[in-house]
Chains A and B, each alone.
Chain A
């Protein structure tokens, strides 16, 4: 039997077979999605529901817990430490997002010109992306330690006044955390930008070059508009990072100290929940973090839709 005839036959016996086919698709459809869905439900969705519930109780990790309504939220908004922590997140957001977005963009724009050795630079820049945050954090802690290489260099240049305990003060430790995040991640951001740039029609660039446009003009009037969506995507990702990827850096580099000077929201949750045992309070903080990130995402998708 030829393939075509076979197909004909398969299609012709639609009645019974069609119903069988439908139920087979249904059964196997559910069966194939089930493992992922079950893991997702138990370890992601259930926890999300639980933080909402716990946040309304005074649960402290023990067997007993009482429903106390919005008291945890009221306590949080009355707690001055909460505002310090929130301010730290904002500092990281305001310093970090421009740096994490623009620095790799600049490099990608240069590398895009395929100057000599661009492959080497691409590889070298990407290398820190494979390192664990513990390594990155420890390296930065070492380099910016009181007797670390940075201070040694400053002292040898006679700038003793500048050789300070960099990570012992929120004023300097937060920017250094931002720097560490940039060091660890800019290489992969460069790759994302380059992938987007490779999709731009090269004839536009050629036309611009014929018109005598220089590198700045080409970059800002041709390349940048061409990758607008990806830049937007990167900004959103960076905003989310500023709220939800700082835990490990803070843990390794400063432990949130001194006091709460370098504590971020995630670390505050950890301190309240696991160190102080105040699970209800920490859950309310988690809800706040969760809502913050969701609102940012929502805003972004609204802006994205408007532009389309």
Chain B
């Protein structure tokens, strides 16, 4: 009897803790949505309730003062190009580093692993200098290259682990049948790496989409700004107009939210995989 009662008390505490944490993750988003439909006065007077009148003014103001279409285009452009290039070069590298034997292979692999622990932000200045020497500052290509470069080590590492598990016999059999190495890569390796590649695509999509350090540095022209960069501008310009700020957050949130809802399973698997387990 006593034991049972004690159990329920601890259960209640555990649930309170879990639910409290859940509220802390959901509530800010609800707050964001509700606030985005208020005006400044309504927000101040009635911060936690529903809007007295549901207004679309904030969204209109954002669409008027920012070229959202252009920003969306820029964001999708750099993100998708980055994800595709990254997947191609890293899966090729993983194939080469696991299945083909040549001199210096281990050295190259150690180099990749060394880069894995380089703090990317420490390289802001030299990367800026290199980009300006290559004439790439204020081009979308510059951030695409930086995104790919900063994620190469991790992506290759993950694909390397996966590629190593593909049995050599499959490749050998294809070779006997006269397949070339590019053929082996396209017809055998890529299909077998597909689940890992899908996970990496989503993880990289999110991190490229949300990146601000290098995009801020290299994309200084307004017409090249990404959505996330636009949000930073909004934050600086209208930092005191909370409802307006909140509606900006919501617009930026939608693509990430969609990715989250559609690919939740892949995403969680990828995060767990990335732990090096």
Assembled-state Cα–Cα distance A31/B182 (Å): 10
For A199, the chain B residues whose CB sits under 8 A away are: 277
Q: Which residues of B contact A297 (CB under 8 A)?
A: 117
B58 lies within 8 A of chain A by Cβ: no
Q: Which of A47, A194, A273 has the most CB of B within 10 A?
A: A47
**Which residues from 71 to 125 on chain B have a C-beta closer than 8 Å to any C-beta of chain A?**
88-90, 92-93, 95-97, 100-103, 105, 108, 111-112, 115, 117-125
Q: Least Cβ distance of A121 to chain B in Å?
A: 5
Q: Which of A44, A132, A133 contacts B150 (CB 8 A)?
A: A44
Docked complex Cα distance between A297 and B124 (Å)? 21
Whether A107 and B21, one on each chain, are in contact in the complex, defined by CB atoms closer than 8 angstroms, is: yes
Q: Are A25 and B123 touching (Cβ within 8 A)?
A: no
Q: Decide yes or no whether A37 CB sits under 8 A from chain B.
A: yes
**Residue in contact with A42 in the complex, picked from B10, B121, B130, CB distance below 8 Å:** B130
**Could you tell me if B14 and A115 are in contact, using CB atoms closer than 8 angstroms?**
yes
Are B256 and A132 in contact, with the CB atoms below 8 A?
Answer: yes
Among A120, A138, A139, A187, residue most surrounded by chain B Cβ atoms (within 10 Å):
A138
A142 interface residue per 8 A CB criterion: yes
Query: What CA separation (Å) do A142 and B34 show in the bound complex?
Result: 14
- CB pair A32 B276 closer than 8 Å: no
| Residue B57, interface by CB 8 Å | no
The answer to whether B188 has its CB under 8 Å from any CB of chain A is: no
CB contacts (< 8 Å) of B102 on chain A: these are 25-26, 29-30
CB distance from B89 to the nearest CB of A (A): 4
B271 at the interface (CB under 8 A from A): yes
CB pair A247–B121 under 8 Å, yes or no, is yes
- Say yes or no: is A92 at the interface (Cβ < 8 Å to chain B): no
Q: List residues of chain B with CB within 8 A of the CB of A191.
A: 268, 271-272
Query: Do B256 and A131 touch (CB < 8 A)?
Result: yes
Contacting residues of chain A (282-306) with chain B, CB-CB under 8 angstroms: 282-283, 286-287, 289-290, 293-294, 297
Closest to A113 in B: B14
Contacts of A122 in B (CB 8 A): 268
Contacts A32-B95, A149-B48, A290-B119; is A54 near B125 (CB within 8 Å)?
yes
**Best-surrounded residue of B48, B96, B253 (most CB of chain A within 10 A):** B96
Q: Complex Cα distance A269/B264, Å?
A: 36
B197 at the A interface (CB under 8 A): no
Q: Is the interface of A mostly helix, strand, loop or mixed?
A: helix
Question: When the two chains form the complex, which single residue of A24, A50, A294 contacts B129, counting CB atoms closer than 8 Å?
Answer: A50
Chain B residues whose C-beta falls within 8 Å of the C-beta of A54 in the assembled complex: 125-126
Interface residues on B, range: 35 or more
Chain A residues with CB under 8 Å of B26's CB are 124, 127
Would you call A244 and B149 a contact (CB within 8 A)?
A: no
Please name all residues of chain B whose beta carbon is closer than 8 Å to the beta carbon of A68 when the two chains form the complex: none
Contacts of B276 in A (CB 8 A): 233
Q: Is the CB of A138 within 8 A of B96?
A: no
Q: Which residues of B contact A283 (CB under 8 A)?
A: 125-126
In the complex, the answer to whether A46 meets B28 with C-beta atoms within 8 Å is no
Tell which of B32, B100, B121, B252 touches A25, judged by Cβ atoms closer than 8 Å: B100
Residue A112 CB within 8 A of the other chain: no
Residues of B within 8 A of A36 (CB): 89-90, 92-93, 112, 152, 156
B22: nearest residue on chain A (CB-CB)?
A124
Most chain A beta-carbon neighbours within 10 Å: one of B24, B25, B145: B25
Q: Is B231 an interface residue (CB 8 A)?
A: yes
B146 touches A43 (CB 8 A): yes
User: Are B210 and A252 touching (Cβ within 8 A)?
Assistant: no
Chain A CB count within 10 A is highest, among B14, B93, B130, for B93
A residues within 8 A CB of B10? Answer: 215
Contact B111 A286 (CB under 8 A): no
Q: B158 interface residue, CB < 8 Å from A?
A: no
Q: Are A131 and B242 in contact (CB under 8 A)?
A: no
Residues of A within 8 A of B119 (CB): 240, 243-244, 266, 289-290, 293
Name the CB-closest residue of A to B250: A135
B145 touches A29 (CB 8 A): no
A154 vs B161: C-alpha distance in the bound complex, in angstroms? 51
For residues 254 through 294 of chain A, which have their beta carbon under 8 Å from a beta carbon of chain B? 266, 269-270, 273-274, 279, 282-283, 286-287, 289-290, 293-294
Tell yes or no: A157 within 8 A of B by CB: no
Is A269 a contact of B122 with CB atoms below 8 Å? yes
Kindly state whether residue B176 has any CB partner on chain A within 8 Å. yes
A138:B130 contact, CB within 8 angstroms: no
Beta-carbon contacts under 8 Å, B177-201 to A: 177, 181-182, 185
Nearest CB of A to B185, in Å = 7
- Can you list 26 residue pairs at the A/B interface with Cβ under 8 Å? A7-B172, A7-B176, A25-B102, A26-B101, A29-B101, A32-B92, A32-B96, A35-B92, A39-B152, A42-B130, A43-B146, A44-B118, A44-B150, A50-B129, A132-B231, A135-B249, A143-B31, A195-B272, A195-B277, A215-B10, A230-B275, A244-B120, A248-B212, A248-B213, A251-B232, A274-B124
Q: Which A residues form the contact surface with B (CB < 8 A)?
A: 3, 6-7, 10, 21-22, 24-26, 28-33, 35-37, 39-40, 42-48, 50-51, 54, 107, 110, 115, 117, 120-135, 137-139, 141-143, 145, 147, 149, 152, 183, 187-188, 191-192, 194-196, 199, 215, 230, 233-234, 240, 243-244, 247-248, 251-252, 266, 269-270, 273-274, 279, 282-283, 286-287, 289-290, 293-294, 297
